[in-house]
Amino acid sequence: MSKPHRLAKTAPMEAKLVSELPAGGDWQFEPKWDGFRAIASRSDDAVEIMSKSGKSLARFFPEIVDRLAQTKTKHFVIDGELILPVGEVLSFEALQARLHPAESRIRKLARETPAQLMLFDCLSLGGKDLIDAPLTDRRAAIETFVAAEDNANILLSPATRDLLQAEAWLAGSGGALDGVIAKPLGEPYRAGERAMLKVKQRRTADCVVGGFRRAKNGRQVASLLLGLYDADDKLSYVGFTSAFAGEDRGSLTAKLEMLIAEPGFTGNAPGGPSRWNNGEQNEWYPLRSELVIEVSFDQVTGGRFRHGTKLLRWRPDKAPRQCRMEQLDHPLRPSELLEVG
């Protein structure tokens, strides 16, 4: 077995979060895919897939390893994102399911729902190192690589130098994309540095406040627990917000305490059923379904907000029963991968 390429364990170039895409200078814009970042490499018969944290992902995606082991080019180091279509939509939850200790389970999932590798950069191709080359050269190299393979599971991410096109991706994707990346055309690949810019997709949802947690001191509110009504008309927990900009936590806590009542959530609850009883302090406190807030969020996994949300405003004009799960439904369909370009 040959030795892996010296760049195979290179830390991916990362992006700094900004509020808007840059209007001046020479930039390339790309969709930000919602998957597992991966540096993939092959050196003769040695194939590796490394995560952003420097750990190997190869055993979790054997179908991608097999594809890379059969490429026409036998020496490369490429940068991309592992994505996984399930049926007609991309599923981050299905990606997470791959991180399983049982090889038999991984192999079964790989057969039933094979992953894809969405490529957008090239560190080395055909024995030629490109890490110090400008993005224009690296983009040409990754385009050459993908075109030569002509493989349905090895994809090329769309790219544009047109700011209006990039802004249209953000506006027209319905929140299905994770955002848009801006890369400087004349710069080398800066491993481990935040040398790119990213604008993350932000969406909003009106949610029922179904409960709250207290701060460690046991007095003031620390976070609001958010719920949405599902198809069975059950209020299910979908996430939390702890960003109370401009809020008086003392008065908010007093307001919430007046609404404490079982059950809070009638569907899926945070951490299982509430243990609140007789005014005792427990993990979380259920509330009557009367308060509605609008929050902003980025991504959804398994019917819940993947990260904490930001409170935008209170919605006294909104009826709690109007807060439905449909607000979280922004799937990205594999057929849209070409359309987005």
pLDDT digits (tens, 9 = 90+) for 132-182: 999 999 999 999 999 999 998 999 999 999 999 999 888 766 555 778 999
At residue 49, the pLDDT reads 97
Let me know whether 84 and 58 are in one domain. Answer: yes
pLDDT digits (tens, 9 = 90+) for 241-275: 997 755 678 889 999 999 999 999 999 999 744 44
DSSP 76-139: EEEEEEEE-EETTEE-HHHHHHT--S-HHHHHHHHHHS--EEEEEEEEEETTEE-TTS-HHHHH
27 dihedral zone (left: phi>0; alpha: psi -120 to 50; beta):
beta
Mean pLDDT confidence for 97-117: 95
Let me know whether 260 and 128 are in one domain. Answer: no
At residue 2, the pLDDT reads 63
* Cα distance between residue 104 and residue 116, in whole Å: 20
pTM of the model as a whole: 0.75
At residue 273, the pLDDT reads 44
CATH of the domain at 306: 2.40.50.140
Let me know whether 117 and 261 are in one domain. Answer: no
At residue 334, the pLDDT reads 53
In a domain, 4, yes or no: no
The answer to whether residue 223 scores a pLDDT higher than 80 is yes
pLDDT digits (tens, 9 = 90+) for 20-62: 999 988 999 999 888 899 999 999 999 999 998 889 999 999 9
At residue 173, the pLDDT reads 63
Q: Domain residues for 257?
A: 203-328
Tally of CB atoms within 10 A around 323: 24
Let me know whether 167 and 224 are in one domain. Answer: no
At residue 274, the pLDDT reads 45
- Tokens (6 digits) for 322: 């109007």
Q: Among 154, 170, 201, where does a domain finish?
A: 201
Residue 78 near residue 142, CB atoms below 8 Å: yes
In a domain, 296, yes or no: yes
Q: Which comes out higher in pLDDT, residue 43 or 219?
A: 43
Cis? peptide before 263, omega within 30° of 0: yes
At residue 29, the pLDDT reads 96
Residues identified as active-site: 32
In a domain, 114, yes or no: yes
Q: Which of 174-188, 269-283, 317-331 has the lowest mean pLDDT?
A: 269-283
CATH of the domain at 117: 3.30.470.30
Give the contacts of 70 (CB within 8 A, at least 6 positions apart).
none
Phi, psi of 51 (to 5 degrees): -80, 170
Residue-averaged pLDDT of the chain:
88
Nearest in space to 260 (alpha carbons), one of 215, 211, 208: 211
